[in-house]
Structure 1
Amino acid sequence: MAQDITSLTGEDYLEGRSPGSDTEALSPGDKEYDDILELNQFDGLPYSSRFYKLLRERKELPAWRAKCEFMDTLAKARFVIVSGSARTGRSSQIPQWCAEFCLSVQFQHGMVVCTQIHSQQAVDLALRVADEMDVNIGHEVGYSIPLETCATGDTVLRYCTDDMLLKEMMSDPLLEHYGVVVVDQAHQRTVATDVLRGLLKDVGLQRPELRVVLLTAVEPGPKQLAHFTGSAAPLIRLESPGAGEVVHSSTGDSYFCSALRLALEIHHSEEEGDVVVFLVTTQEIDLAHGILCHERHSLHPDLGELLPVAVHPGQPGDLPMMGEEEETGLTRRVFLTSGPNEDFFWAASSVRFVIDAGLGKRYVYNPRIRTNSVIIQPISTSQARSRKQLAGPTGKCFCLYPEDRQLPLEIRPHVVESDISSTVLFLKRMEIAGLSHCDFIDRPDPEGLMQALEELDYLAALDNDGNLSEMGIIMSEFPLEPQMAKTLLASCEFDCVSEVVIAAAMLTAPTCFTVPSAELKPEVTRCHMKLQHPEGDHFTLINIYRAFKQGQQDPSCDEEKWCEDLHLNHAALLTADALRTELLDTLKRIELPVSEPAFGSRNNTINIKRALLAGFFMQVARDVDGSGNYFILTHKHVAQIHPLSGYGAESPKLGLPEWVLFHEHSFCEDNCLRTATHITPEEFIQMAPQYYFYNLPPSESKDILQNILTHGVSQCQEEKPPSSPDEPQEDRTSDRCVIQ
């Protein structure tokens, strides 16, 4: 019979004793005892020599000194908080000990799951931990990230992104498959992590045997310590490795040039080691990468090779490999990134130099204009400390700001300044599953919450009582924003699923267009114009995907070269392809119809626009002066179409339409409408819910629409062109407008 886990101490775990084991009855000299010590407790196979090599390295980590205390606390407390900066072993060691804890009770309460913010970190950690545990990746240790799973039902320790675990909770709200849930990087305060913490409090109360472990790089305040239990949860502090030499300097506004000059000066020195440069914006990362790539060719060969690496979190194909590498000193990598990215370099032991601009970019959602604004402000004190520690005790950190600068104490929670429409849809779904309360540490902005509820109501995702409607339940099944999920469901009504699912995948994946440098801009524009569709940017994306798939089916076509020749992002197109497959699988699982492809026919074109309007009727604009100044109906703001759009200034192939539906308004960067498609006011009147239309603020554009509505011009039958007797029957789509 299994021993009560609360009777065990940390020393029991350190010495290899587990509940019900008889190893303490054997003398150290017995051969049987020796054999037990040599067998891996997770797969029953003898340990390899590499296991012992890595074990010696693990015992040097600051986290190892806290193992006894952690195992003791985990056995007695349901909620445990561990604080430790990068390079303490926080993310790699704690989950392993949780797996040992679950093994000690024969996994009777479940396995271990550990969440990460970024997909690449989940993969890197799973690979590293599988190596340390001396087991096969995908078996005892695995990972789950969007569009990729490398795990089985018997996986003991699984790393995953926080949004993947939230998705899992839709079918398993109490997480009964797990005995320990580890939430890593809690200090980053992302929306998904805060929602997960809020729900886990309720789950923990309903499942007393569940253990919840919170990992954070900074010591939490009293509010966070009291969140789970009402009183201070047990806190274990990992000893942080000492920082090396820190040099502060005041550069004013010229931190960018100073950072690049420092990187080149470091390369000219005799000291070995990689460099991490923390900049502020994506544009700065790309510009710095281009400059260093140009400068590297003029460096003396005796200095070794300089290898700039751009690190954009969340984008495919550009993250550095963080595995073990031989440090030959012949190549110096310069990682160019932006914050908060400290944890990307948790395993980069070759980093010896850090250059920190000390600034970060935040997107703050404004519900009144339904778009993001950008705020650039100093990083938090915890981020500054983490960056200093990345260089290690023998490295150097160059802080491009005065030592006496006042930094914010904490990162501001994303949930109070983000668009939370998707979050509200998810929480409404969890209410149906029995988790009726999400106890946020910091509650969402009331105005943002009301705007999210209003949007879901317009999309018919809520019933008259404010609960999730049948439409809303189906929408929550898709890994899409609510507006795009509604568009996909509308495509089932209008027999254009095959095309809309491509558009949804292309818009959800990272952009497939590469950003051209100044000298390549004319050539890139010409290449992209070849793929433009006369009906608009949504149709252009469908065009590009179809051309990409045709190339895949041609054995003589090199798809990577095809993408390179047309200046398209191959990794982004592969992501879109995987997303499309996932969306089609979801449609089939919930038994929704998938139409046959009909791209190019007139009826199909009209129906695609109807489906887009069913979800994006809140994102419609009108050219008020014929010169490209588009008036956005919802908040009376004027913007221009992005230059790289088919209607943009750099693509004269298409003329400027009077009315457009757009996917995104990038107010914070260039005040442009991105991914725009021509529509008619009649189509808008036909698809927009009446109560939304009447709530639009007064404007000349609304008067035009009202006039059309009053005179009854918008009739569905008038929209449909006469059908030819020879036209295929499947191209004759019903004009019923019943989606709302």
Structure 2
Amino acid sequence: MSLPITAAQDVLREKFAKNRVTILVGETGSGKSTQVPKFIRSLDPEHERIAITQPRRVAAINLARRVADEMKVSVGKEVGYTVRFSNMSGASTGIKFLTDGMLLRELLVKPKLSQYTTIVLDEAHERTLLTDLLMGFLKALLRQRTDLRLVIMSATIDAERFSAFYDDAEVLYVQGRMYNVERFYLPAPVEDVVDAAVRTVVQIAMGEKTGDILVFLAGQEEIDKATDMLTEVAQSWPKEAPELAVLPLYAALPQNQQMAVFERPKGNRRKVVLATNIAETSLTIPGVRYVVDSGLHKVKVWWHDLGLDSLLVVPISQSSAAQRMGRAGREAPGKCYRLYTEQDYRNLKTQNEPEVLRCDVASPLLVLKCAGVDNVFKWDWFERPQKKAMVASLTQLYALGALDNAGAITPLGRKMALLPLAPHLAAVLLKAQAAGVEDAVLDIVSCLSIENLLMNPHPDKRDDVNEKRQPFVQASAGMGDLLVLRELLVFFRGLGSRDEKRDWCRDLYINFRAMSNVEDIKRQLQGYLKTKARADNDHRITAAEAEQVIKCFLAGFVCNTALMLPDRSYKTVVGSQTINIHPSSSMFGKRTEAIIYTEYIFTTKAYARMVSPIQLDWLQEIAPHFLNRREA
């Protein structure tokens, strides 16, 4: 009742009842994400069925639990959620939180979304690919369904632009509840932002008697490094000081570990949550009084010429900085320590660049085709992708067999569109099902789904680590890095205690936390594909099966192939770019007529990583339609 938005509930109910489309700008702490669905539900409790989207699954789950708790009902009944691999909703669910991707999937199955009376798009300012896609679909759907209501919500939003897209929809503003947050900047830039973050946490923990700490870092690798450093520091922590409970938070973590950050620490303990921008919006982590902001995040950037995307660490925007700072002032006065200078802050962009302008658009184009949109160039985009990007993505979908010669979606393409994976990985899994090698391929895809599984050793230790990994390279029978990943996973499964597994991972420079999460991802994928785990999931695959595994990956990564040149470098089949095998690959220094790779990096020159050998006739066997057209 003390939330700022509660004071405006009567006006908001009146506006929601009257408007087909409402743009609601609610400042951080206003309570919009939890209260607006209840306001709308109260308009007609018997008939209102509300879907509220969130960009991230952890936000959808946590908000559903919060609203269910406030309404004193069980999650899965009147209030529920649907995220990838988990559905906690039923026929009686009137308020359902779900990710953008899950609502999009529902739209493909039921194009009119007749199961809902109101759609709420929350955190619209993040401008994910899926949010932009949903906005276009919903604009068209509003013309077909006069009984549908749409609410667009965000803490920071280009309200006039959203209003114009929806034919001058009404814009409402709600003030937030923010306690005062002091800001501190560094006097000069630092070289090692992880080290600076750890030092700042120690400084806060020693100097401030109460309050939990939230640290924003760029990605999983940085979080794992900081977790190890703080865990080591905590072992020699003064007995009189509160014990540090160090908790990581990033997308690849299992759901139960993500939820641990919302629990209040017991006894004489204080939480230190190390998070990516997953904790930037929609999530209120109880107890947080101090925020440490690295000023960095990871974004995907698509390279059209190479048909590959790369994760880059880049500065955040001023909008993101404000969101991060706001996490410290939700429950009490707080402090925000920015690990950059005040001048650097002034030089930040106002808003983050939308994904549609920098990411691969193959997945949204496949969804459009599946929804019956013939001309994707003329579709009503909220912000149109570059023509070059759209042409490259359509070419990729054609190569995968998702589109036919006329650009129409194929039966395979329809199956791919319904899988919650990037199109190339969906193609790999569907091919594996047909070839009877899905268990081994699921192992590898699960490994590829996690960042930084294999770590790069220090140059002084590289030879020693490579020697320890050599038995697994030999066990892969020369079939490259994808099969090496599977051999490592099989060996890891066979180890006994957790300590034994941790020691083995440390010796081979494998990320223990990441490797421990692989099984959870595989179980989720098996559930989605409706397949059962083999009783002998640690079986050694035969040479013939290994060949089939690589052919399955070729079906999904046919655009990521290259032919060997006389100087042992390679020229990509798509784009004719020169590329070299990375020294960390098991294929480095070996001769093979052609390769497939799943990762591309550029340092002093272009490198292929996760490399496996292929034969030229496999290309003709797997994708003759694509290769013949390129030759023509």
Whether 1:580 and 2:522 are equivalent positions in the alignment is: no
Figure out how many residues of one structure are paired with residues of the other and give that number.
610
Task: Say whether the 8 Å CA contact 1:351–1:391 is kept in structure 2.
Answer: yes
TM-score by length of 2: 0.86
Whether 1:476 and 2:411 are equivalent positions in the alignment is: no
Tell me the distance in 2 between the aligned counterparts of 1:473 and 1:227: 29
Choose from 118, 143, 154 the match for 1:180.
118
Tell me the distance in 2 between the aligned counterparts of 1:602 and 1:560: 32
Tell me the distance in 2 between the aligned counterparts of 1:134 and 1:387: 30
Tell me the distance in 2 between the aligned counterparts of 1:340 and 1:416: 21
| CA spacing shift, 1:516–1:148, aligned 2, 3 Å | farther
Task: Say whether the 8 Å CA contact 1:99–1:111 is kept in structure 2.
Answer: yes
| CA spacing shift, 1:524–1:300, aligned 2, 3 Å | farther
Match of 2:446 in 1: 506
- CA deviation after TM superposition for structure 1 residue 187, in Å: 1.0
Match of 1:607 in 2: 548
| CA spacing shift, 1:438–1:85, aligned 2, 3 Å | farther
Match of 1:97 in 2: 39
Read off the aligned partner of 1:537 and give its amino acid letter: D
Match of 1:425 in 2: 366
Whether 1:246 and 2:183 are equivalent positions in the alignment is: yes
Choose from 187, 192, 199 the match for 2:130.
192
Per-residue displacement from partner, 1:676-728 (whole Å, max 9, x unpaired)?
2221223234333255356379xxxxxxxxxxxxxxxxxxxxxxxxxxxxxxx
**Superposition pairs for residues 5-24 of structure 1, below 5 Å?**
none
Tell me the distance in 1 between the aligned counterparts of 2:451 and 2:294: 27
- CA deviation after TM superposition for structure 1 residue 163, in Å: 0.5
Match of 1:310 in 2: 248
Per-residue displacement from partner, 1:345-397 (whole Å, max 9, x unpaired)?
x3223111112233334332120122235555442222222222221151111
Task: Say whether the 8 Å CA contact 2:189–2:341 is kept in structure 1.
Answer: no
| CA spacing shift, 1:87–1:130, aligned 2, 3 Å | same
Match of 1:79 in 2: 21
Q: Secondary structure at 1:686's aligned position in 2?
A: helix
- CA deviation after TM superposition for structure 1 residue 166, in Å: 0.7
- CA deviation after TM superposition for structure 1 residue 116, in Å: 1.3
- CA deviation after TM superposition for structure 1 residue 658, in Å: 4.5
| CA spacing shift, 1:135–1:384, aligned 2, 3 Å | same
Task: Say whether the 8 Å CA contact 2:248–2:275 is kept in structure 1.
Answer: yes
| CA spacing shift, 1:646–1:576, aligned 2, 3 Å | farther
Whether 1:675 and 2:626 are equivalent positions in the alignment is: no
Task: Say whether the 8 Å CA contact 2:247–2:261 is kept in structure 1.
Answer: no
Q: Secondary structure at 1:412's aligned position in 2?
A: coil
| CA spacing shift, 1:562–1:178, aligned 2, 3 Å | farther
| CA spacing shift, 1:514–1:160, aligned 2, 3 Å | farther
Whether 1:118 and 2:56 are equivalent positions in the alignment is: yes
Tell me the distance in 1 between the aligned counterparts of 2:467 and 2:150: 52
Tell me the distance in 1 between the aligned counterparts of 2:165 and 2:604: 37
**Superposition pairs for residues 538-549 of structure 1, below 5 Å?**
538-543=482-487
Tell me the distance in 2 between the aligned counterparts of 1:179 and 1:656: 61
Choose from 288, 291, 309 the match for 1:372.
309
Tell me the distance in 2 between the aligned counterparts of 1:516 and 1:296: 26
Whether 1:275 and 2:213 are equivalent positions in the alignment is: yes
- CA deviation after TM superposition for structure 1 residue 427, in Å: 0.8
- CA deviation after TM superposition for structure 1 residue 424, in Å: 0.6
Match of 2:8 in 1: 66
Q: Secondary structure at 2:372's aligned position in 1?
A: helix
- CA deviation after TM superposition for structure 1 residue 269, in Å: 0.9
Task: Say whether the 8 Å CA contact 2:33–2:63 is kept in structure 1.
Answer: yes
Tell me the distance in 2 between the aligned counterparts of 1:232 and 1:156: 25
Read off the aligned partner of 1:372 and give its amino acid letter: D
Read off the aligned partner of 2:139 and give its amino acid letter: K
Q: Secondary structure at 1:266's aligned position in 2?
A: helix
Match of 1:23 in 2: none
- CA deviation after TM superposition for structure 1 residue 466, in Å: 2.2
| CA spacing shift, 1:463–1:631, aligned 2, 3 Å | closer
Whether 1:399 and 2:399 are equivalent positions in the alignment is: no
**Superposition pairs for residues 521-536 of structure 1, below 5 Å?**
526=468, 529-530=471-472, 532-534=475-477, 535-536=479-480
Match of 2:599 in 1: 664
Q: Which ranges of structure 2 fall in alignment gaps of 5 or more residues?
A: 506-511
Tell me the distance in 1 between the aligned counterparts of 2:415 and 2:132: 24
Choose from 327, 339, 344 the match for 2:277.
339
Choose from 63, 75, 84 the match for 1:146.
84
- CA deviation after TM superposition for structure 1 residue 419, in Å: 0.5
- CA deviation after TM superposition for structure 1 residue 453, in Å: 1.0
- CA deviation after TM superposition for structure 1 residue 449, in Å: 0.5
| CA spacing shift, 1:562–1:153, aligned 2, 3 Å | farther
Greater relative contact order (CA < 8 Å, ≥ 6 in sequence): 2
Tell me the distance in 2 between the aligned counterparts of 1:68 and 1:222: 24
Tell me the distance in 1 between the aligned counterparts of 2:540 and 2:483: 9
**Superposition pairs for residues 231-242 of structure 1, below 5 Å?**
231-242=168-179
Task: Say whether the 8 Å CA contact 1:122–1:159 is kept in structure 2.
Answer: yes
| CA spacing shift, 1:515–1:90, aligned 2, 3 Å | farther
Tell me the distance in 2 between the aligned counterparts of 1:279 and 1:128: 26
Tell me the distance in 2 between the aligned counterparts of 1:536 and 1:637: 22
Per-residue displacement from partner, 1:396-448 (whole Å, max 9, x unpaired)?
11233344523322221101110111111111001279999853221112111
Match of 1:44 in 2: none
TM-score by length of 1: 0.74
| CA spacing shift, 1:536–1:378, aligned 2, 3 Å | closer
Match of 2:572 in 1: 632
Tell me the distance in 1 between the aligned counterparts of 2:470 and 2:522: 18
- CA deviation after TM superposition for structure 1 residue 165, in Å: 1.0
Between 143-152 and 686-695, the greater mean CA deviation after superposition: 686-695
Q: Secondary structure at 1:170's aligned position in 2?
A: helix
Tell me the distance in 2 between the aligned counterparts of 1:694 and 1:448: 20
Tell me the distance in 1 between the aligned counterparts of 2:563 and 2:376: 43
Whether 1:227 and 2:165 are equivalent positions in the alignment is: yes
- CA deviation after TM superposition for structure 1 residue 292, in Å: 2.2
Task: Say whether the 8 Å CA contact 1:84–1:240 is kept in structure 2.
Answer: no
| CA spacing shift, 1:259–1:207, aligned 2, 3 Å | same
Read off the aligned partner of 1:538 and give its amino acid letter: L
Read off the aligned partner of 2:483 and give its amino acid letter: F
Tell me the distance in 1 between the aligned counterparts of 2:182 and 2:451: 40
Q: Secondary structure at 2:292's aligned position in 1?
A: strand
Per-residue displacement from partner, 1:65-119 (whole Å, max 9, x unpaired)?
222221111111111222224432222222222332341xx21xx5111111111
Larger Rg: 1
Match of 2:508 in 1: none
- CA deviation after TM superposition for structure 1 residue 578, in Å: 2.4
Tell me the distance in 1 between the aligned counterparts of 2:328 and 2:608: 42
- CA deviation after TM superposition for structure 1 residue 464, in Å: 3.7
Task: Say whether the 8 Å CA contact 1:527–1:566 is kept in structure 2.
Answer: no
Whether 1:293 and 2:231 are equivalent positions in the alignment is: yes
Tell me the distance in 1 between the aligned counterparts of 2:86 and 2:215: 30
Per-residue displacement from partner, 1:585-641 (whole Å, max 9, x unpaired)?
59xxxxxxxxx99974454444333333333222113454677x4443323444444
Match of 1:456 in 2: 397
Whether 1:351 and 2:258 are equivalent positions in the alignment is: no
Whether 1:537 and 2:476 are equivalent positions in the alignment is: no
| CA spacing shift, 1:559–1:474, aligned 2, 3 Å | farther
Match of 1:388 in 2: 325
Identity of aligned residues (%): 27
Task: Say whether the 8 Å CA contact 1:538–1:675 is kept in structure 2.
Answer: yes
Task: Say whether the 8 Å CA contact 1:190–1:413 is kept in structure 2.
Answer: yes
Tell me the distance in 2 between the aligned counterparts of 1:129 and 1:583: 31
| CA spacing shift, 1:117–1:678, aligned 2, 3 Å | same
